[in-house]
Amino acid sequence: MMLIRTLLANLLLGMSLLVVTPLVYAELPDFTQLVEKNAPAVVNISTTQKVQQQRGGDFNGIPEELLKRFFGDDFKIPKGAAPEQGKGGADKKEVQSLGTGFIISSDGYIVTNHHVVADAQEIIVRFNDRKELVAKIIGSDERTDVAVLKVEAKNLPTVNLGQSSKLKVGEWVLAIGSPFGFEATVTQGIVSAKERTLSDDTYVPFIQTDVAINPGNSGGPLFNLNGEVVGINSQIYSRSGGFMGLSFSIPIEVAMNAVEQIKRTGRVVRGYLGVNVQEVTSELSESFGMDKPKGALVAEVFPDTPAAKAGVKAGDVILSVNGIEISKSGSLPPVIGMTPVGQPVELRLLRQGKLQTMRVTVESLPDDKKSALNQNKPGTKGLTDTTKRVLGANVIPLEDAVKQKLGIDFGLRVTSIDEGSLVRSGVQAGDILLEINYIHLDSVDDLAALAAKLPKGQKIPMRVVRADRALFLPLVIQ
């Protein structure tokens, strides 16, 4: 009887808790006011271009090249959708491309992507109230993919600009644009990652989101929940030809730095150090005696550049610039790129296990900068020694012609490789071995003697040249 009473009492207590405990619902953001306030400042952009048709044409008014920028080179125009071509498949035709932009000043300045208006013969801006105006290009920058347009108008609605640096991963964001020409389309998602480096876009630390972005969204604004523009929607990554949850936006600080320069001078000038950098992996950090991977590893320093003049060396790990932490290699180019030309910056770096501080005066990035290691594949002229086998690889002295082009008087070429310490460390046939543990490799005998002295099982930094570019690998002697 006592047991029944106890069970009944516990049951009644549980029911009372259910009654008095309030139900908690997940709170999702309401975007309606944000859209109502900002949609009038978002515009549709259409351009007329004369293009050389080679492999198709356009799809629903969107040029094939624009589609390929979004979906990759494997994108195929659906069968029957491409217009017929003339003889040779290279007819010129006027096509219209679609994009998005947003108004940053009431007197008619509009920001969009460079690739939206590149090579345009005519640009038409359609506003939220369906009014259309012809725009002219004030300036455009391909590296940051930013363009500034101007229409003759007054008292236009404008957006408020925010700070992408304050964005947090997981934060809600929203895009307004014209995907496939469907104007004023609103999509939402979260910030998936920050400071993403994409190929050929080293000066843009992209914001990655899962906001649905498609052709026509290009140049449109990315808003935070405060209704502030924090980025410009620029690219997506896709293997299927459709949206796959990987969208990339240009941080608004990077974009506006370009915009202000374009408005002031008509072009964009970037800061330049003159180094090639690579990521510090866990194995490389161990070889450099670091507690954890961080910073930008200098793989090579170009001659007669700010870095070379200041004394920066290959093997240095740049940890900060003017107090701004460089967490990974991709963080360095945007910081330097946005530094005014002629301004000195303070680099904090790690060199052979010791912290150092160095001042470097930033110069202008050359328009046609060529790698100091850009040369043709050489033959085998100028050999002064026979091929020898060391650490599982056949190596020969570096050719004199290559030494001259690299501006060095040392180095060894790997002609073939199989099982051994070098291949396990990532060395490939054709690589040029420059130095191990900061010691230059002058001859094959030097490599053999050094290998015999290195401690087994310990990671040692090794610098090589591969495909005209220097990089570090962690060498482990087995």
Residues with catalytic annotation? 115, 145, 218
Q: Round to whole Å and give the CA distance between 399 and 421.
A: 24
**CA atoms lying within 13 Å on the CB side of residue 64:** 18
Which of 426, 420, 424, 446 lies closest to 434 in space, CA to CA? 446
For residue 343, the tally of other CB atoms under 10 A from its CB is: 11
Q: Round to whole Å and give the CA distance between 343 and 171.
A: 35
Which of 219, 200, 325, 335 lies closest to 270 in space, CA to CA? 335
- Listed in sequence order, the residues at least 6 apart from 419 whose beta carbon sits closer than 8 Å to its beta carbon are 392
- Host H or E run for residue 13: helix 2-20
Long-range contacts of 129-132 (CB under 8 A, 24+ apart): 129/40
Q: Round to whole Å and give the CA distance between 196 and 226.
A: 23
Structure tokens at 440: 């230059």
Q: Round to whole Å and give the CA distance between 267 and 313.
A: 32
- Which DSSP letter does residue 456 get? B
Contact 358, 349 (CB under 8 A): yes
Q: Round to whole Å and give the CA distance between 60 and 181.
A: 9
- Host H or E run for residue 173: strand 172-177
Residue with tokens 């009654």: 19
For residue 168, the tally of other CB atoms under 10 A from its CB is: 9
Longest dimension (CA), the chain: 104
